[in-house]
Chains A and B, each alone.
Chain A
Amino acid sequence: MGRYVIRRLIQAIPVLLGATLLIYALVHYLPGDPVQALAGEKRADPIVAEMIRQKYHLNDPFLLQYWNYISGVFQGNLGESLTGRSVSDMIGDAFPYTVNLAVVAFVIEAVVGIAAGVMAALRKGKFLDQLVLISTLLVISVPVFVTGFILQLVLGVQLKNSYGIDFFSVSFNEDDGLRAYLLPAFVLASLSLAYVARLTRTSLMETMRADYVRTAVAKGLKRRRVIGRHALRNALIPIVTFLGADLGGLMGGAVITEKIFNIHGIGGLLAQAVYQKQGTIIVGVVTLLVMIYLVTTLIVDMLYAVLDPRIRYE
């Protein structure tokens, strides 16, 4: 197991290098001038623009720029944005919000999603099952920004103005602690939540028909033990795979939710950097996201062994 983990981590190095080179090249060859992008709708003053280009070595050939950047990264320096802020500071400021948001969303998604799926599977064809199927279909078919804006308007504005209930605020407010994350996290989680519920339902129904479950029932085990220990544990494998991949997706995909609720996390930072063609920020953020993906997939792979002892790592 230990050797397996080390091998996986070593494999991550070329993946990271490849990913950064690819992203750096993509940004570099994007049309448009980052210095002009900073000036907005006015033309950047030629001398000022040239001084900025020289300062950030934007006139150097691509490979030299990449080499300078990556050797800086290995010395722990993620570089500077064109506006003079350290990229590690920018990521450091934004990252905690995205992590908190993603974790709360993940908890909602896993707990509510699996619970709904289990309940639906155990009451196949009954009212509760229909309810889960219809409501998840609804969630899947409505775009996230619509859900977000409606909830913001109803819970944030109308609830306060009409009933004086100021529980969910319109925009993210750090002082509110965890409460501030609930609404955005629910919006962010809603789509995956629907998938998790449906996946759990199908997977559990499948396993309930398996021979060993029938054996367990025949042995006279309690229903709770049959479902919890025998059926659900096996049914969880595809769900854990989905959840693991989704945790990375939640962090990267928070752009829209973060924007609606004014949370200044990684999503907004990345979107803005792409718009301004600020390579150092984009590569820094993407590298971080790639790392998160690598770690979560590793954790997912190791979780298989916990769920199914027959799986071994060499």
Chain B
Amino acid sequence: MRGATQTKWLVAATAIALAATACSTSSKSSDDKAASGGGTIAVQLGEPQKGLVPQNTAESEGNQVLFALFAGLVDYDRKTNAPRLQVAESIETQDSKLWTIKLKDGYTFHNGEKVTAQSFVDAWNWGANQDNAAEGMPFFDKIEGSEELAPGKDKKPTAKELKGLKVVDDKTFTVSLKAPFSQFKTMLGYSAFYPLPKAFFNDPKAFGENPIGDGPFQMDGAWEHNKQIKIKRYDNYGGTKAHLQGVTFKIYDNLDTAYNDLRADNIQATNKLPISAMSSVASEFGDRYINKPESGVGYIGFPIAYNPAYQKPEIRKAISMAIDREQITKTIFAGTRVPASDFISPLINGYRKDACGDACKYDPAKAKDLFTQAGGLPNNTLELGYNADGGHKEWIEAVGNQLKKNLGIEVTFKPFEKFGKILDSLQKKEYQGAFRMAWQMDYPSIENYLRPIFSKVAIDSGSNYGGYVNDQFETLLSQADSAKTEDEGIKLYQQADDVLIKDMPYIPVYSYQASAAYTKKIKNFDTDAQSRYNLAEVELAG
């Protein structure tokens, strides 16, 4: 039995090795269930791109944390997305150009410093200064004097402060815009307009790792990169206090793993579900699965400015009518998208269902007629470009096949490795084909779906990649900007939207749906229009 002793020896060695590793671990559980007060939870997050400075954070992950740490002048009603006053006591204007903002009492930063008019003015001046290269800089260009702080390439700023900002007293400041803008109040909930404490200006970099806000939660230790960001309730918060004692943003870069952690109740909520979960999440989470409209709209765009083949609106309209949106959203996106019938997202004040009318209704026969009458496309071919990194291949190919069948044309596909490459190519006026495009709002205003994508100024400094220009559209936009009230403004923006619907510079294909899920451990969970967690309102269940 010599062989047996050999085996025994090896088995013993393996067992010892495994036992040694097992012994050195403690059996303590990862989530701190027993915390006093409102308890603590963990939620899914992706690693924020850079330091958590509100003026310099444009991406969604960092924004989510800032949303818990900061309170702005306004926030948004989660149902209607209308702005409601938060730190501001009042925001008033006579002519939509000069705005007077008064602050409420009682708001303090997490280090005890009072939130004053100066806290806002300093923060905005910092954000508007091009030397700081803050991502939020474009948001200040409506304010008087912004060109002195951001004069452009190879030039030095000639001022340190925005001319248009004036501190009246501790609780009041005025904002003077270059031109009237009726939607200004709606913009003010965006993170670039959050206030900053004095401590920020001493060391912006350290601040970014351990931000001090004025919101319902404060940092609980510095940001642990790629691992977690812990926040705890700020008990001197000026607004409605949070229920939970603390929240851990657990950082994932793989949504499948995050979803499995959610299923095992290791985290309690996620606002991003992996594609693989789509078929099972509704049955597994029931009414704890949220699927509701999100701010994004997906389009098919055309390089109108330099490709004459697409210049006729009838051609674009015919293509639009030949797309079966219903089929694409149902079969390819499994209901995570809904057919678009307007250029505006359904959750925005001013959205009109079926505004697009016949142009967005699937009607292959009519489409074919219109297409032939308008003279068709050169060589009877159409190219569809998409970025191969974002899961767009399937739906673009489906659209291509529908066009092939319904218009009797040849469709070719052009994958770009990244979205940025499509943009580069359009910028250089190289790419001749149609392309996929999407827009996600910065602030919940109908204006944000029009000017940044379809206006003349957006050709150079915005996202008007098609190079669409229409004078009537421009006039309506500026009329809407100078409207005395918000509602009056919205009516005029809708007229501008009608111009787009007539011209179809882009074809709206679908609106995005936000999906989130949470475990039985919490209640009152929801996400806002930007898919951010409403952490201040979440409570432990039972």
Contacts and interface: CB of A to CB of B under 8 A. Distances in A.
A223 B7 CA distance: 13
Contact of B6 (A38, A122, A160, A262): A122
A75 interface: no
Contact of B25 (A84, A85, A178, A224): A178
A36 B258 CA distance: 28
Contact of A261 (B14, B47, B130, B257): B257
A43 to B, nearest CB: 6
A2 interface: no
Interface string B14-37: 100100011011101110000000
B229 interface: no
B79 interface: no
A179 B21 contact: yes
Contact of A224 (B6, B208, B421, B462): B6
Nearest to A37: B420
A107 interface: yes
A28 interface: no
Contact of B227 (A50, A84, A264): A264
B458 to A, nearest CB: 9
Interface stretch (B107-115, B247-255, B314-322, B365-373): B247-255
Nearest to B437: A41
B428 interface: no
B49 A43 contact: no
B51 interface: yes
B30 A173 contact: yes
A222 B137 CA distance: 80
Contact of A45 (B6, B138, B258): B138
Interface stretch (B259-267, B405-413, B533-541): B259-267
Contacts of A161: 263-264
A46 interface: yes
Interface string A144-182: 000001001100110011000010011101111111111
A142 B438 CA distance: 38
A119 B2 contact: no
A68 interface: no
Contacts of B423: 36, 43
A104 B24 CA distance: 14
B226 A94 contact: yes
B3 interface: yes
A178 B30 CA distance: 14
A252 interface: no
B135 interface: yes
B133 interface: yes
Given A48-B130, A51-B131, A177 B138 contact: no
A13 interface: no
Nearest to A185: B21
A55 B418 contact: no
B253 A272 contact: yes
A152 B256 CA distance: 10
Interface size class of B (residues with CB under 8 A): 35 or more
A47 B153 contact: yes
A262 B254 contact: yes
Interface string A33-61: 10011111111011110111001000000
A101 interface: no
A93 interface: yes
Nearest to A83: B50
A170 B10 contact: no
A135 to B, nearest CB: 15
Nearest to B9: A224
Nearest to B224: A93
Interface residues of A, number: 66
Interface string B391-426: 000000000000000000000000001111101100
- Pick the most buried of B49, B134, B152, B252: most chain A CB atoms within 10 A of its CB: B49
A223 to B, nearest CB: 4
A209 to B, nearest CB: 18
A43 B453 CA distance: 11
A224 B5 contact: yes
B419 A41 contact: yes
A230 interface: no
B59 A50 contact: no
A115 interface: yes
A32 B10 contact: no
B17 A48 contact: no
Given A119-B7, A178-B21, A268-B253, A51 B130 contact: yes
A224 B257 contact: no
Contact of A227 (B6, B17, B205, B461): B6
Nearest to A180: B25
A115 B59 CA distance: 51
Contacts of B253: 259, 262, 264, 268, 272
B58 interface: yes
B332 interface: no
B10 A119 contact: yes
A164 B254 CA distance: 25
B13 A115 contact: yes
B30 A169 contact: yes
A38 B266 CA distance: 31
A118 interface: yes
A113 B211 CA distance: 49
Given A32-B417, A170-B264, A175 B30 contact: yes
Nearest to B139: A45
A97 to B, nearest CB: 9
Contact of A171 (B28, B261, B462): B261
Nearest to A271: B253
A157 B263 contact: yes
B220 to A, nearest CB: 16
A171 B257 contact: yes
Contact of B152 (A47, A115, A123, A261): A47
B307 interface: no
Contacts of A51: 130-131, 133
B100 to A, nearest CB: 29
B19 to A, nearest CB: 11
Interface string B465-488: 000000000000000000000000
Given A48-B137, A169-B30, A152 B257 contact: yes
Given A83-B49, A160-B265, A182-B21, 20 more contacts: A36-B423, A36-B424, A39-B135, A46-B460, A47-B130, A47-B152, A48-B135, A83-B51, A90-B225, A107-B17, A152-B260, A170-B264, A175-B26, A178-B22, A181-B21, A224-B5, A259-B257, A260-B254, A264-B47, A272-B253
Interface of B: 2-3, 5-7, 10, 13-14, 17, 21-22, 24-26, 28-30, 47, 49-51, 58-59, 130-131, 133-135, 137-138, 150, 152-153, 205, 208, 225-227, 250-254, 256-258, 260-261, 263-266, 390, 417-421, 423-424, 438, 440, 460-463
8 contacts: A40-B419, A42-B440, A93-B226, A170-B266, A178-B25, A259-B254, A261-B257, A262-B253
Q: Which 4 A-B pairs have the closest CB atoms?
A: A264-B226, A51-B133, A179-B25, A83-B50
